[in-house]
Amino acid sequence: MTLGFGIIGCGLISKFHARAIGEVPDARLVACYDVVKESAERLASEFGCKAYHDLDAFLSDPDLHVVTVATPSGAHMEPAVAAARAGKHVIVEKPLEITLERCDAIIRACEEAKVVLSTIFPSRFHDSSQTLKRAIDQQRFGRLTLGDAYVKWWRTQQYYDSGAWRGTWQLDGGGALMNQAIHSVDLLAWLMGPVSEIQAATALLAHERIEVEDVAVAVLRFQNGALGVLEATTAAYPGYLKRIEIHGNRGSAVMEEEDIVKWDFAEEHPDDQIIKEKMKARVSGGGGASDPAAIGHHGHARQFTDVAKAIREGTRPLIDGYEGRRSVEIILAVYKAAEEGRVVKLPLEKDPDLQARKVGVGNLRRAS
């Protein structure tokens, strides 16, 4: 069957969702919804779908099977929960939400409805990210010793002034970390494993009329004993490609945006030469380093395809609600460590029922 997708929230990121949906096999964009009538009608006109201004009517569309939520970060919970209760599968743009309580409300609603839930982290689907993950799983790095993420980006004052929600705790949930660097936080935790404790400092140095940080630095300790550094800013002109560094006692690798730029191991593998040949031809542009609109949609398309597969097979997508929750918890721990000037240990909240609540594979609602 053809899966019908609908978009809630017709701002900047909605166009990337729409383009990505257009590349998912046996899927089509059938509807969009926004409280601002003109925004919904503009997106509908561009991508050939139906515009709604009433959420209940949108969710009642019989051709709608999957909802992507692209509202401001702190307004993800309400539409996501409503979509789940209407029996729709749910994809939520990062972050899943801005508090753990609101993340858990989304997870709980989707599990009770037995619908698929996924959090948007398209960077995991890049070939370079998959290559790094595969090398770690093959233990090519030996003992992991350092895992670092650097997001040194630039955002103008006009960027923050362009939306009343930007730079607020209530709807943005944070600044350079929660909005921009969360992709790298997700990648780092996916590659290095769970974080056990954090020390941090944050500051607002280069922007006005916002409540949140535009500079953050954190020192991480991972459960496997490795250490790491997380740096995030929207105050580094002109903005540079985000960078992930993985080091161990048998190898090191560095990734800039979608390009692997360092690949050095004590023991050579046959595929290493292929990877090094690819290193000579960089594929990344500027990413979102200085322009939030200067990103591709191919990662979204791969993730939406993964979600469509999970829906059809009744399984879990690669990035489910729990995966989305993890990066939010790490960032909230950074904020807590910076505010209180002490080491903060993870998890922030002990929830013995968190894993027990998971719907087992095969118990999710399949496409029919």
Q: How many CB atoms lie within 10 A of CB 285?
A: 14
**SS3 of residue 358 by DSSP:** coil
For the chain, where do the domains classified as CATH 3.40.50.720 start and end? 3-122+297-320+350-356
For the chain, where do the domains classified as CATH 3.30.360.10 start and end? 123-279
30-34, 37-41, 50-54, 297-301: the lowest-pLDDT one: 297-301
How far, rounded to the nearest angstrom, does the alpha carbon of residue 2 sit from its chain's CA centroid?
A: 26
Residue matched to tokens 């200067």: 294
Burial label for 281, CB within 10 Å (0-12, 13-18, 19+), is exposed
What pLDDT is recorded for position 365?
65
pTM for this one? 0.93
Percent of the chain with pLDDT over 70: 92
What pLDDT is recorded for position 287?
66
Quick: pLDDT tens for 310-353: 999 999 999 999 999 999 999 999 999 999 999 999 999 765 55
Beta-sheet pairing, 215-222 with 195-203: antiparallel
Which amino acid would we find at residue 195? V
Class of domain 123-279: alpha beta
What pLDDT is recorded for position 361?
44
What pLDDT is recorded for position 297?
86
**pLDDT at residue 294 is higher than 60:** no
| Band of residue 367 on the pLDDT scale cut at 50, 70, 90 | low
Q: Tell me the average pLDDT across 99-113.
A: 98
Quick: pLDDT tens for 23-45: 999 999 999 999 999 999 999 99
Q: What is the mean pLDDT of the chain?
A: 93
Q: Which tops the pLDDT comparison, 218 or 291? A: 218
Beta-sheet pairing, 251-256 with 243-248: antiparallel
Upstream peptide bond of 317 is cis (omega within 30 degrees of 0)? no
Q: What is the 3-state secondary structure (H, E, C) of 112-150?
A: HHCCCEEECCHHHHCHHHHHHHHHHHCCCCCCEEEEEEE
Instruction: Give the tokens for residue 76.
Output: 């993800």
Quick: pLDDT tens for 155-199: 999 999 998 999 999 999 999 999 999 999 999 999 999 999 999
Helix 321-340 with 182-192: angle, nearest 10 deg: 110
Residue 27's DSSP bridge partners are: 3
CATH level 2 (architecture), domain 3-122+297-320+350-356 = 3-Layer(aba) Sandwich (3.40)
C-alpha angle 341-328-58 in degrees, rounded to nearest 5 = 145
Query: Rounded to whole angstroms, how far apart are CA atoms 85 and 110?
Result: 8
187-191, 204-208, 265-269, 296-300: the lowest-pLDDT one: 296-300
